[in-house]
Amino acid sequence: MRFHLKIILTIFLISYSISGISQISAPGADYLFFTKYSDTTQVNHNIYTYYSPPDESITANLRASGPDLASYFFEWSKFDSLALDWNLIMSEDNVTTSQLANLDEGGYKLRLFDSISVDTTYYAWVFINTFEVNVLSDSEDHLIFGKYFCGKLILDASIDVDNFWYYNPVTFERSDYKNDVFFSWTTDHSDFDIKPDNVGLVEKGVFNPPAEDMWIILTATDSTGMSDVDSVFYETVEVKADFSMEFFDKLETEDYIEAPSPTEDDAPLKIRFSNNSLNGYNFEWIFTDTSNFYFPELEIELTENVDYKPEYTYKIPDHYFPALVAKSFYNCIDTFKLIDPVVVFPSRLEAPNVFSPQGLENNRYFKVTFQSIKEFHIRIYSRTGNLIYKADITDMHSWDGWDGNIMNSNRPAPAGTYYYIIEATGYDRIRYNHGPYKGFVYLFRPK
């Protein structure tokens, strides 16, 4: 995709004094600068530049007038760089204004005089500036095959710069104007910039391009302000891995909710993953990457479905860093891994020493405080050794505790001291069956 930019500079021409005032100008010129002769005794002259894009044909114009409304003689000459001489090309008598049209580039001299007191010579140089930028692309303006790889693409461009020169009108010494070029690479991708020091003009690499298509644009401007723009379309081969998580709330909603930060809970901790990758073709889910060196082999799941939402339940207390490896159709690979881990708490178990079925709501049941308990067995006996209550629990979050009734009946056990025996195992294989897990609890009933 090509654009041509034509920067029009308004030129304010200073009227020069002959001991009167006259002027030479270049109607339609785009840029004005001045000669710099090594002979410092020589007055510098105007250089007029016209911009001529490659698909246009531009000619120059020069115009002059006398210092007042009187009529003068005008003699125009063009510089011959081979003969190093001036050749008369047009003269006009008894006019107030004279103009040269459809000029080629080169040096021009004007002698303006009358039959009385005015006889002055002016010099001006005219350049037709052609300037073209070309980025290497195929017939559809796409980056050509072989110029892009996983993690890198190569931009190749050329800039055709017009150079200028002029001659001292007295000594005929040639001077060259150094026409510098300033260029920049940009894209239409909002989050991707090409660094100025990252790309030159001859097969320079751009690293880590995005996983989205984009236009890459080269803008070049020369010293006179003429600009040209060319661009190439990059159809990405890259992939960007990304995912989000939902957390199963087993206490309140009993459904998936947005994962809190940090994502942590006791076991079992159930998480559902959503694939947010860009330009992925197939995917490898890694659920159990962990900081623990002794952790068993990774739990991995492969899929080609970007809409698939895998679920995984974390049971062993640890710090987990789930990851997603995404691969594009062109086998480019990207990995997204959590920075903040999913944390499964270690097991914990504490038993109270008193409860009251008719008391405060948070103390109406004999219920242990727990964390990451996999199996739980409890037996409660009276002081005479009679079994009053038992429970074998596989889901601690579903157990309400002992309500103070005998063997899950509606018969309340009398107030007093009871003996309990707990046998439990944590998801981290810690066993709870000694010490404080055999003890007494007092059942309190107000009179």
Chain length of the chain:
447
| pLDDT-derived band at 296, boundaries 50, 70, 90 | low
| pLDDT-derived band at 4, boundaries 50, 70, 90 | very low
Would you state the pLDDT for residue 349? 96
90-119 pLDDT tens trace: 999 999 999 999 999 999 999 999 988 899
Please report where in the chains the tokens 């930028």 appear, as a residue. 133
- With contact defined as beta carbons under 8 Å apart, do 422 and 368 qualify? yes
Return d(Cα 141, Cα 3) in angstroms, integer: 13
Return d(Cα 145, Cα 138) in angstroms, integer: 9
Residue 97, Cα to own-chain centre: how many angstroms? 59
Of 284, 184, 178, residue with least CA distance to 239: 284
Residue 44, Cα to own-chain centre: how many angstroms? 49
What is the CA angle 276-277-282, rounded to 5?
Answer: 125
396: phi then psi, degrees, rounded to nearest 5:
-60, -30
Would you state the pLDDT for residue 5? 42
C-alpha dist (Å) from residue 329 to 234, 282, 324, 334, 339: 16, 8, 16, 12, 27
Would you state the pLDDT for residue 293? 57
Of 65, 24, 62, 58, residue with least CA distance to 43: 24
Return d(Cα 388, Cα 279) in angstroms, integer: 63
Would you state the pLDDT for residue 68? 81
Please report where in the chains the tokens 């080269």 appear, as a residue. 218
Return d(Cα 200, Cα 216) in angstroms, integer: 14
Environment class of 60 (CB within 10 Å of its CB; exposed 0-12, middle 13-18, buried 19+): buried
Would you state the pLDDT for residue 10? 28
Would you state the pLDDT for residue 170? 87
Would you state the pLDDT for residue 20? 33
pTM of the model: 0.75
Average pLDDT along the chain: 89
Please report where in the chains the tokens 């050329």 appear, as a residue. 158
31: phi then psi, degrees, rounded to nearest 5:
-155, 140
14-51 pLDDT tens trace: 333 323 334 789 999 999 999 998 887 778 899 999 99
172-231 pLDDT tens trace: 999 999 899 998 999 999 999 988 766 667 778 899 999 999 999 999 999 999 999 999
340-379 pLDDT tens trace: 999 999 999 999 999 999 888 889 999 999 999 999 999 9
What are 443's two structure tokens? 């059942």
Would you state the pLDDT for residue 6? 38
242-260 pLDDT tens trace: 999 999 999 888 899 999 8
Quick one: average pLDDT of 405-434? 95
In three-state secondary structure terms, 41 is: coil
Would you state the pLDDT for residue 116? 86
Would you state the pLDDT for residue 58? 87
What are 377's two structure tokens? 């067995």
96: phi then psi, degrees, rounded to nearest 5:
-95, -25
Environment class of 117 (CB within 10 Å of its CB; exposed 0-12, middle 13-18, buried 19+): exposed
- Per-position DSSP letters for 399-423, written without gaps between them: ---B-SBGGGSS-BPPSEEEEEEEE
In three-state secondary structure terms, 408 is: helix
CA 19, 25, 30, 36 torsion: positive or negative? negative
Would you state the pLDDT for residue 18? 29
Would you state the pLDDT for residue 196? 75
Give all strands (DSSP E) within 81-213, no chain letters. 85-95, 97-103, 106-113, 119-129, 131-135, 148-149, 152-155, 157-161, 164-167, 174-177, 181-187, 204-207
Q: What radius of gyration, in Å, describes the C-alpha atoms of the chain?
A: 44
7 has pLDDT over 50: no
112-167 pLDDT tens trace: 999 888 999 999 999 999 989 999 999 999 999 999 999 999 999 998 898 899 99
Greater confidence (77 vs 59) lies with: 77
Would you state the pLDDT for residue 19? 30
Domains of the chain: 2-129 (2.60.40), 131-161+180-234 (2.60.40), 243-344 (2.60.40), 348-443 (2.60.40)
C-alpha dist (Å) from residue 56 to 6, 128, 227: 12, 11, 14
- With contact defined as beta carbons under 8 Å apart, do 169 and 175 qualify? no
367-377 pLDDT tens trace: 999 999 999 99
